[in-house]
Structure 1
């Protein structure tokens, strides 16, 4: 290589030579998306921890309307977060022309997403069990309080007094009924969310499985290229040896011819 050519190569920007190698190619879009998803997964993990603490209070003496409101809000916020992250995971998993570092990021994000989603589904099921138990207990209490007394002459006066007391507590009964309806609605929401997030989990797993098959094909192609390269290298070495031997034989022949020629010249001169 000439000195001018060497200077020309050294004068080229480093980024240009790095861009020519896919392994070092910069991709701000991919990096920004991966960083955003990582931050969102961290937030979801924090929500799950807070949600688990609040669900543990359901059905205890510390169970209040405020606790149930926090559980509801955290469930809604975390569900929406998982749906957004799931779409982002799908996008990052189907990113084209990824280098080895980006492939590792894809696998890391996918593993973290599936682990975090599985944890949230477990917490949702625990909330579902608590809500069902609470709704069943409230329904039983209301139904027991509304059972009619036996209509007999002896108990007629007691029945009238009980009816007045029941009318006085009708507002409380209506309130309990509204709570039951609210809890049953929350139960349906949780059941629907569990199903939707299970579908999202399967979608991501399917994409990862498909990519795994593509990676196997790429790996097989790389192995085939490596084997072909090794075979070509062996053939080149053999050809080099043959060429070297041919040069050696040519040199020997040349020396022999030179000796013969020298002998002939000497014979002529001496003769």
Structure 2
């Protein structure tokens, strides 16, 4: 079900409650927050798709610094957005005195959030693996460049060749080393983001689990109430039948007494 369909469902539910009063609506603050979270989740879905496409370019011939910048920006933007949405979902889940449509919205938001976050974490791990592979390969290449194999016909020629090579490649080595340091910092940043979002996922899952237990308890109480009501109805019906039979017996007894009394009176009068 899409977000638009969900909005239509909630609108229909709103206008059909409280005696079909069109002026009645759910808590406006709940409505505003839930709509805001749905919009942000929809945006995150698009970000994850774009991020997945950009990560696929890492380690290929189309891998550039611009691609890595876009990956970094999308990861950071999405991570912060998930934190914000997660806080909002936790607020929604703890809302008190919710209506049936609001309860449905709570469950819908929790499912959408968990599904999107799971997909984003998968993309995060892919980015982390590619960054690690790239940094490792770059580190090996840098070490090889820093220790070139020496060739020369004489010790003097060998020394001169090594010195020229060292001077010529030092700037490139320094540049590559700075890139490796940046990539390693990016790896640590992604790892931290994975850890933070794992904690957020557990928090929301814990809240949803607690709500599920509460719903199970409510459902059990409703079943118990239904059973008690059914038993009470049967007892009332039995009591009603008993009272009806008792009234019938009382009427018969009064009729018999009336007949006997009539006979006695007639006997006295006629005698």
User: TM-score when scaled to structure 1?
Assistant: 0.84
Hey, what does 2:174 align to over in structure 1?
A: 174
CA distance in 1, matches of 2:253, 2:87: 76
Aligned to 1:137: 137
RMSD: 2.4
Distance (whole Å) between structure 2 residues aligned to residue 251 and residue 192 of structure 1: 87
Q: For 1:144-183, list aligned pairs within 5 A.
A: 144-147=144-147, 149-150=149-150, 154-183=154-183
- Find the counterpart in structure 1 of residue 80 from structure 2: 80
Rounded Cα–Cα distance in structure 2 between residues aligned with 1:151 and 1:38: 66
Give the drift of 1:105: 2.0
Measure, in 1, the Cα distance between the counterparts of 2:53 and 2:169.
34
Q: Which residue of 2 aligns with 1:61?
A: 61
User: Residue 128 of structure 1 aligns with which residue?
Assistant: 128
Query: What do residues 128-183 of structure 1 show as CA deviations (whole Å, max 9, x unaligned)?
Result: 11111111111111111111555987143244234224323322222111111110
* 1:191 equivalent in structure 2: 191
Q: Is the 8 A contact 1:40 1:85 kept in 2?
A: yes
Q: Identify unmatched segments of 5+ residues in structure 1.
A: 1-14
Q: Is the 8 A contact 1:41 1:116 kept in 2?
A: yes
Q: How does 1:231-242 map to 2 (within 5 A)?
A: 231-242=231-242
Report how many residues are paired: 252
Q: Secondary structure at the match of 1:40?
A: helix
Q: Deviations over 1:100-133 (max 9, x none)?
A: 3322222221121111111111111110111111
Which runs of no fewer than 5 residues in structure 2 stay unpaired? 1-14
Partner residue in 2 for 1:26:
26
For 2:204, the equivalent position in structure 1 comes to 204
Shift of residue 57, structure 1, vs aligned partner: 0.4
Q: CA contact under 8 A between 1:92 and 1:106: conserved in structure 2?
A: yes
Deviation at 1:195, TM superposition (A): 0.7
The answer as to whether partners of 1:18 and 1:25 remain within 8 angstroms in 2 is no
The answer (yes or no) to whether the contact 1:149–1:159 under 8 Å persists in 2 is: no
Contact 2:131 2:183 in 1 (8 A): yes
The alpha carbon displacement at 1:262 in A equals 4.6
Aligned equivalents of 2:191, 2:236: Cα separation in 1: 67
- Relative to 1, partners in 2 of residues 1:25 and 1:243: Cα closer, same or farther, differing over 3 Å? farther
Mapped to 1, the partners of 2:240 and 2:219 lie a distance apart of: 31
